[in-house]
Amino acid sequence: MVDHPTLPLTTASTAVSSPLQTLRQAMLLSLCSGVLMGLAQPALFDMGWLAWIGLVPILIALASRPTRFHLWIALPCGILWSLGAHAWYPAMFGWAGGMLLIVAVGFLDAALLQAGMALASRLPSAVQTLGLPLALTALEFVRTVIPVIGDWWFEALAKTQWRFPSALQIVTLTGSPGLSFVIALTNAALATLLVAAWQKRIAWPAVLSLGSVALVLACGWWVMAPSPAETVQIGVMVDLANQLGSEQQAVLERDIALTRMLAPQQPQLVVWPENELATADDPALRLVIGQLAQALNAFLVADMIWTTPAGRYDTAVLFGPDGVEVGRQAKINVTGDERAQGFVAGQRRFPVYPTTLGTIGLGVCYDRHTPDITRQLTRAGARIVAMPADDDFAANPWFPRAHAADTVLRAVENRVAFAVSTTSGIALVVDPYGRITAESGVNQTTVLIGETFVSAEYTLYTLAGDWFEWLSVSIAGILILAWRPRPS
């Protein structure tokens, strides 16, 4: 075997014609892609449109160089991409540990690009642009479900589109990896067309791929309906409890004062941040919160501590306009710090609560990061999901947008309205199409009203789950196992 330069983005017959001649040029293109992909991430610059073109330079670079260099060529791109996506790691793990993890994830991203090129080389020329999307979708999904690593926080490519509702609608069918697939397909097709133009030919499969992407975006725009006349007014807030002092009585008084600021706008539902107020069964505290709900004539969700023989739960508690508790939901995705403080994970039960506004499901903070929890709430009948949250990592200004992007994706995947209030970070109200109707600044004390509506639609993703992801894993696995090297 001879390790020739390969162009899996084009055809084997044209592999000798390359727009790049030196390794230095390839590395410069890798750096260019890393900058573009870093800028596209929600955390730092939130320029999501760059994700649609950000991988083009690195794909051209990889297509123009021998396969033995692919991982190292992709590494600058991977590290800069990871830095843009996970710039908040040092706030969570310390400077040294955070930077080490950023570099480690950069290696994973570089390996993902290498795997995408390798998979493309195993496909017929007519469908080679599918290689990178298949590899990316499969590996993005696998690293969220395998033991131990599945608990780590990796940013998915789809999250760059949290402000682009037309693109988001594909996730109702496939979940967020389907949108990652579409973005990667666009990059692969554009890279193929540019290489083909250098070779003075037309790459028709790439043209068809871009046409398919355009159709997906057009359909996404078309399916979004105007909000109906009957809407729900939801009040959300950022109270900065962690920065301004977290003594329980002071936090309670601050949240009450912020809630009263919402009263003139007549909210029908108010969500408080994740403040773990006293105990959920404290009669005095329940009376205060219940009276506030009565005064507002609104439903109110407060985050409280629920102490049981099984342990202490961080719990969202829903009060009705009559001041009486409607129901509660313990946080399922507890963090390591919460476990160290004596909290235990809630049972994987998904009670929902029919109200005059629509059926409400509850969760707490990190529960929105895992797609399955919102999906299970929706399957149980929830049409509005309310989640108190706490996005404070030393007042880091970058992490909140990463978590806000999760909120938008969960709303669209399941066609549910979503409301999040937070001690720090970004408070949001999102309608079932992913349109943000209320959004606070980052780490700013705020009260907001967002308007949304209740959808009766149950999406394919809600009903069928991760079918697209497992299909991608299966196809990629079959191609790898069935591949036989071609004689040179």
Compute the distance between CA of residue 86 and CA of residue 105 in angstroms, rounded to an integer: 9
Asked whether the CA dihedral 368, 298, 325, 303 is positive or negative, the reply is positive
Q: Say if residues 395 and 403 touch (Cβ distance below 8 Å).
A: no
What b/e sequence results for 172-202 when a residue is b if at least 16 CB atoms lie within 10 Å of its CB, and e otherwise? bebbbbbbbbbbbbbbbbbbbbbbbebbeee
Greatest Cα pair distance in the chain: 80
Using only the alpha carbons of the chain, give its radius of gyration: 24
- Choose among 125, 138, 264, 137: nearest CA to 203: 125
Name the residue with tokens 């005064």: 295
Q: What is the pLDDT of residue 144?
A: 83
Q: What is the pLDDT of residue 262?
A: 96
Q: For residue 369, which amino acid is it?
A: H
Q: What is the pLDDT of residue 347?
A: 92
Q: For residue 320, which amino acid is it?
A: G
pTM across the whole model:
0.92
Q: What is the pLDDT of residue 395?
A: 81
Q: Say if residues 348 and 378 touch (Cβ distance below 8 Å).
A: no
Q: DSSP for 381-415?
A: T-SEEEEEE---STT-SSHHHHHHHHHHHHHHHHT
Q: Say if residues 387 and 403 touch (Cβ distance below 8 Å).
A: no
Q: What is the pLDDT of residue 485?
A: 53
Compute the distance between CA of residue 81 and CA of residue 155 in angstroms, rounded to an integer: 10
**How many other C-beta atoms lie within 10 A of the C-beta of residue 91?**
17
Q: What is the pLDDT of residue 434?
A: 97
Name the residue with tokens 């083009």: 56
Q: Say if residues 388 and 280 touch (Cβ distance below 8 Å).
A: no
Q: What is the pLDDT of residue 20?
A: 61
Q: Which structure tokens are listed for 75?
A: 């590494």
In this prediction, the residues of the chain whose per-residue pLDDT falls under 70 are: 1-21, 150, 243-246, 483-488
DSSP assigned state of 198: H
The runs of H, that is alpha helices, within 297-426 are 336-340, 371-379, 399-414
Compute the distance between CA of residue 96 and CA of residue 84 in angstroms, rounded to an integer: 17
Compute the distance between CA of residue 414 and CA of residue 383 in angstroms, rounded to an integer: 9
| Domains of the chain by start residue, with CATH | 12-224+466-482 (no CATH), 232-452 (3.60.110.10)
